[in-house]
Amino acid sequence: MRITLSPLLLVSVTIASGCGHTNTAPVSTPSPVPSNDTLQSPLPHLSDSLIPTHKDTLPPPLTHAISSPPTSEQLNRISDTISNHLQSLVPNHPLRQNINSWYTTSDSIIIFLNINTPYWQNQCRKYLSASPYIAFQGPSQPEKITITPTTNPIADSIILCPDQLSYPADSPTISFTLTNNTHSTLTFGDPYTVAYRSTDGTWYKMPSGAIWNDIGYALQTGGSHTFTINLRPQLNHNTPGVYRLYKKVRSEDYSQPLWIMTEFHLH
C-alpha cells in the first residue's frame, strides 16, 4: 500500500515565553457568505460551489487508458499524476488545501477530502485525474462541536490565548500561546480543533486536516508554548466574528485529558 502522509517525529520541549493577554471579549455571530451551497447548510464554510477567484496555470487533466482491474504499476502512475498536478497549484489554492491525503489500495486510489462534496470531487477529476479508479472519502456534512471544556482548578491554571486581540478574516494562520501555571508537567501534541458559529447559533468544526505529525510536547510548570493554527481562508471563506480553539492536554496530577478552550476574533 502506498500512502502520502506527513513524516512522523517525536520530540519533547519546554519553552518559556509569555502569552501577554487573555481573551475575554463577548461572542458575536459571523456574517454568512453568499453562495450557492447545495448542502442546504447554515454554514458558509462548507460551500459546495466555492469557485477560486484567482487564476492559476493548470496542466490539463489526464485520463488513463487502463484495463480492469488495474495493476499496481498503473495505480502508481495515477498517484504520480495526482501528485504532479497537485504540486503545480499554488500552495494556497483551495483544491490543494482541501486534499488531506491519498493512498492506493489493491484496486483503486482513495483521496481523502476535508470537504467531500460532489463539487470538490469534480474539481479533483478536472484538475488532477479523471481516472475511474479514483474514489473519495471525508466529511460531506458539517459536524457539530461536542467537546466540553474541562472545569476544575487544574484546567483553570492552564492559560490558552491568541497572541493578538484580533486577526484579519483572510489570515492563513494565527498564533496562540499555552501557559502552564499548574504545579505539574503538561503533555500534548499538535492536534487542535477550531470551531465557528453558524447563523443559527450552533457551533461547528471548521474543515481541517485529520492527519497530524506524531510530536509530543512536555511543558513544565511556569513554561509557555507558542504554536500556529491553519485557517485555510481560500477554502473556508472565513468571515468576521468570534471563533473558538480547543486544545487537549494531559496533566501528571489528573487521570483524564483536559480540554482547554479559548475564543479569538477575526475582523
pLDDT digits (tens, 9 = 90+) for 201-232: 999 999 876 678 888 999 999 999 999 999 99
Q: Quick one: pLDDT at residue 92?
A: 87
In a domain, 101, yes or no: yes
Range of the domain at 121: 47-56+66-137
In a domain, 125, yes or no: yes
Amino acid at 259: W
Q: Quick one: pLDDT at residue 163?
A: 97
Supply the DSSP symbol for 92: T
In a domain, 86, yes or no: yes
> Bridge-partner residues for 174, per DSSP?
229
**Separation between Cα atoms, residue 33 and residue 239, nearest integer Å:** 7
**Separation between Cα atoms, residue 122 and residue 134, nearest integer Å:** 11
Q: Quick one: pLDDT at residue 161?
A: 97
**Separation between Cα atoms, residue 133 and residue 74, nearest integer Å:** 10
In a domain, 120, yes or no: yes
pTM above the 0.95 mark? no
In a domain, 74, yes or no: yes
For the chain, how many structural domains are there in total?
1
Q: Quick one: pLDDT at residue 213?
A: 83
Contact indicator for 117, 39 with CB cutoff of 8 Å: yes
3-state secondary structure 162-201: ECCCEECCCCCEEEEEEEECCCCCEEECCCCEEEEECCCC
**Separation between Cα atoms, residue 267 and residue 265, nearest integer Å:** 6
Q: Quick one: pLDDT at residue 1?
A: 45
- Cα angle for residues 190, 196, 200 (degrees, 5° grid): 155
**Separation between Cα atoms, residue 232 and residue 26, nearest integer Å:** 24
Q: Quick one: pLDDT at residue 67?
A: 55
In a domain, 182, yes or no: no
User: Residues 50-96: pLDDT tens digits?
Assistant: 333 334 444 444 444 545 689 999 999 999 999 999 999 998 899 99
**Separation between Cα atoms, residue 47 and residue 41, nearest integer Å:** 8
Q: Quick one: pLDDT at residue 69?
A: 87
Those residues of the chain that have pLDDT short of 50 are 1-64, 66
**Separation between Cα atoms, residue 96 and residue 87, nearest integer Å:** 8
In a domain, 113, yes or no: yes
In a domain, 116, yes or no: yes
